[in-house]
Amino acid sequence: MASSVSSISRQEVSTLMRQIQSNQLYNRQLSSICQINGLKSTGVKIELQNRIVGLIQEAVNANDAARFCQVRQSIINAIAQRGSPAKMPARHTNSTPSHSSLATQYSPTASSYSPGTISYQQQGYNVAASTTPNRHLPMPQYPTSTMSSTLTFRPSPFYRIEDHVSTLRVCEVMTAHRHSISIPLELNECPALQRCLGDRSYRVMIFCSSEATGVQNITFPYQSELKVNGSDIKANMRGLKNKPGSTRPVDITNALRLRPGHVNNIEFTYALTNKVGHSISSSVLLESLPLTGKRAVQKFYLIANLCKVTTVSELESIVSNRLTIPKETVVAELNKIAQDPDVVATSQILSLKCPLSYMRLEIPCRSLSCIHIQCFDATSYLQLQEQGPQWTCPICNKPAPFDQLAVDNYVKDILDNTPKDLESVTIEPNGRWRVHSSQDDQTNALEGSAFGDDDLVEISETIAHGGGRKMETPRNATPNIRTPVSNGSTSMPRGAATFSAKRPASAVIDLTEDSDEESVRAPHKRQNTGANGGCNGFAGSYLGESPVGYSS
């Protein structure tokens, strides 16, 4: 077994040093390790390696075993992300555990996700961390099975593997026929199951992988069925399409009969192991799977584990009391962008609704790698990851793992100082914000309407007694046009002598009006309807007011 958490083995330190300084990790993995541990994540490979080595040396000099375990776990995860577990240095002497088993022994717990007093700096944001010290629960003692001790599943904040309750079962290759594997579970034979009786947070879950060593994603055969005591277990064992790592373990606790002397029968039926499932990495297939003709075939490995489950509400509390992005840091970053001569800074609209649930934000958070101000709600995000873990930002699609989620105090301050029904605010380039209400939209609409009226060009045309035609643009852009009233009739429809590229007005031709019966109401603004019958049609096409001072 591994050394205790209170001591650091020199051999473990030298092993980590060799892994970092070798060519086993790419710049992408080294940068990820630096990000997780609060180091600068840019630069050439030798710079990234030196930063990580220096961090390991600092933890050793300070005899900080908890910090050392955290750095080691990030290195193990980075090696697993490369997609070639076979290249991991999993073989050491008997006194030193393999790094794949170290990942099992030091899997992150709900409390160990708190990075303590670590100060993160990502994308220019100084992130304040909680002063709560790291807390590590006692490491579980796993059965000494050769395969199960070297197989580790990728850690999740929603559960922690406490113990194995079955041996590792091999699902042999089945290219055409169906095959079943039976796993018996008895309370007397597995005392760890007693914890499920007194604490509902302990659950029995079925895990499956396509490899027997290293850190693996949960991967079931393409066609899989699970029965417990003859009852079908309804669960999604494929995950999201083309999303490796999005498959969850299957919880069978409610179907078990945990009483002394009763043997529970878990029956796993599968087929088509030659078909690549949704959660299998193609790079792993190419490197580690044998080929039959042109079709890849593979084995699967099944095991039942006792897990300690962490609820979404508990994870919310961890996020709320852990990392925060200070308000002053966000304002300083906005001012920095505004002062950039190559960037034209304008105001922006900040939505106070979560892009996932479309409800008002309660716990505004984002990843440390995100450079946008828009936040998502921690509750909605965690609920989504619980159903199908992807851990990507819903706004920019950058990785947003649980240990990099931070509460944005700038947005939180806006939420605390605005009414609950407000949907958005306007952020100025200097970082100040103001309420973006419907009055702003009405003001903009009125300004746009006034601007449109100023563009109107009105043409008044009068047929003078001498037969001459006279045109002028009225002084008022929107004159009050009045139509004379004929004998025995009501008021006539208004004619429009207004022509505009924006709002063209239709002309009205009145054929019922007799020009001889016309009366003049306002001599200085008289509507011209034509002096004789030959001009009635023309006058109807260009109805408008007469020039000021005109008299008949």
More confident residue, 63 or 457: 63
d(CA 311, CA 133): 22
Distance, CA of 546 to CA of 321 (rounded, Å): 77
Q: Is the pLDDT of residue 205 over 90?
A: yes
* Burial environment of residue 278 by CB neighbours within 10 A (0 to 12, 13 to 18, 19 or more): middle
Q: Please give the distance of CA 54 from its chain centroid, rounded to a whole number.
A: 33
C-alpha distances in Å from residue 221, one per residue of 168, 275, 279, 505? 16, 8, 10, 70
Instruction: List, in order, residues 6 or more apart from 13 with CB less than 8 Å away.
Output: 56, 60, 68
**How far is the CA of 244 from the CAs of 222, 295, 403, in angstroms?**
13, 20, 20
Q: What gap in Å lies between CA 257 and CA 193, rounded to an integer?
A: 11
**Is this prediction's pTM over 0.85?**
no
In tens, the pLDDT along 337-377 reads 888 888 777 888 999 999 999 999 999 999 998 989 999 99
Residue 411: band (very low, low, confident or very high) from pLDDT cuts 50, 70, 90: very high
Query: In the block, which residue shows the tokens 């300070």?
Result: 62
**73: nearest Cα among 426, 511, 403:** 403
Confidence band, pLDDT 50/70/90 cuts, at residue 16: confident
The model's confidence at residue 203, banded by pLDDT at 50, 70 and 90, is very high
Residue 448 tokens read as 């746009």
- Strand order, beta sheet including 405-408: 324-325, 405-408, 364-367, 376-377
pLDDT confidence of residue 530: 44
| C-beta of residue 463 within 8 angstroms of C-beta of residue 451 | no
Q: Which residues contact 242 (CB under 8 A, 6 or more apart)?
A: 278
Q: What is the mean pLDDT of residues 47-56?
A: 87
Cα 41 to Cα 33: distance, rounded to the nearest angstrom: 8
Of the ranges 223-237, 266-280, 435-449, 517-531, the best mean pLDDT one: 223-237
Structure tokens at 87: 């290249």
Q: Band of the pLDDT at 499, cuts 50, 70, 90?
A: very low
Confidence of residue 294 (pLDDT cuts 50, 70, 90): very low
Residue appearing with tokens 């113990």 = 163
